[in-house]
Amino acid sequence: MSLNTVAINQGMTRFDGHAEVWLFGYGSLIYKADFPFLARRPASISGWTRRFWQGSHDHRGTQEAPGRVATLAPAPGAVCHGMAYLVTPEEFAHLDYREKNGYLRLAICIAFDDGGSAEGLVYIAASDNAAFLGEAPDAAIAAQIAGASGPSGPNRDYLLALAQALRDMDKPDDHVFAIERHLARLG
């Protein structure tokens, strides 16, 4: 699959005709909502785990030195915590462009921390996309993050902001926090 997934995402018709749709964010969408939304609620999805396995050639790295950003990996029994945003379909054009580097929309059940659930969507960069970097030891991921920077700034800022947002939500993530510890050792 190409790095640019905008056209593929624009072909998704699952939520056509809906006046509003819930969007689940698990990476930078937790702390950087650069789009208008109608509501925002802490939430989770089941069966997925957050992993720094996706390359960032357009935001937190370059073609020559890609950064690493979060995606989701299937994990039976796991729960991934994040933030849900109620948006109008007009926001998909911006979101599709923002998430264009290998991420595809996926319909998913979102459970809200304060009760209830709703069908919504999430952007996931699966292992078959051209920017997928895959699994690596936490120390190696931290070293790559330490050396990467792109148009959206240093890759380390992304990791540190995500770790802090998860702390603020009181939702620890062993993978994120382990990479953060390795990054701190690098200076």
Average pLDDT rounded to a whole number, residues 32-53: 97
Q: How many whole angstroms separate alpha carbon 147 and alpha carbon 65?
A: 8
Are 156 and 31 in contact, with CB atoms under 8 Å apart? no
pLDDT of residue 98: 85
pLDDT of residue 5: 67
Active-site choice (20, 64, 90, 99): 99
Average pLDDT rounded to a whole number, residues 177-184: 98
pLDDT exceeds cutoff 90 at 44? yes
* Domain locations in the chain as residue ranges: 6-186
pLDDT band at 8 (very low <50, low <70, confident <90, very high): low
Q: Terminal CA-to-CA distance of the chain, rounded, Å?
A: 36
**Pairing state between β 104-112 and 39-56:** antiparallel
Q: How many whole angstroms separate alpha carbon 37 and alpha carbon 85?
A: 6
Closest CA to 68 of 27, 106, 39: 27
pLDDT of residue 1: 39
pLDDT exceeds cutoff 70 at 11? no
Q: What percent of the chain shows pLDDT beyond 70?
A: 93
Residues with Cβ within 8 Å of 57's Cβ and at least 6 positions away in sequence, in order, are 3, 63, 66, 101, 131, 150
pLDDT tens digits along 94-127: 998 888 888 989 999 999 999 999 999 999 999 9
pLDDT of residue 92: 87
Q: How many whole angstroms separate alpha carbon 169 and alpha carbon 66?
A: 29
* Cα dihedral across residues 83, 89, 95, 101: positive or negative: positive
Q: Running DSSP on this structure, what letter comes out for residue 27?
A: S
pLDDT tens digits along 83-103: 999 999 889 889 988 888 889
Q: How many CA atoms lie within 13 A of 66 on its CB side?
A: 18
Which CATH number applies to 6-186: 3.40.50.720, 1.10.10.10, 3.10.20.340, 3.10.490.10?
A: 3.10.490.10
pLDDT exceeds cutoff 70 at 181? yes
pLDDT tens digits along 55-82: 998 889 999 999 999 999 999 999 999 9
Residues with Cβ within 8 Å of 162's Cβ and at least 6 positions away in sequence, in order, are 27, 28, 30, 31, 70, 176
Q: Running DSSP on this structure, what letter comes out for residue 132?
A: B
Please give the angle made by the CA atoms of 73, 74 and 77, to the nearest 5 degrees.
125
pLDDT tens digits along 130-163: 899 999 999 999 999 999 999 999 999 999 999 9
Query: Quick check: is 99 catalytic?
Result: yes
What average pLDDT does the chain have? 92
pLDDT of residue 110: 98
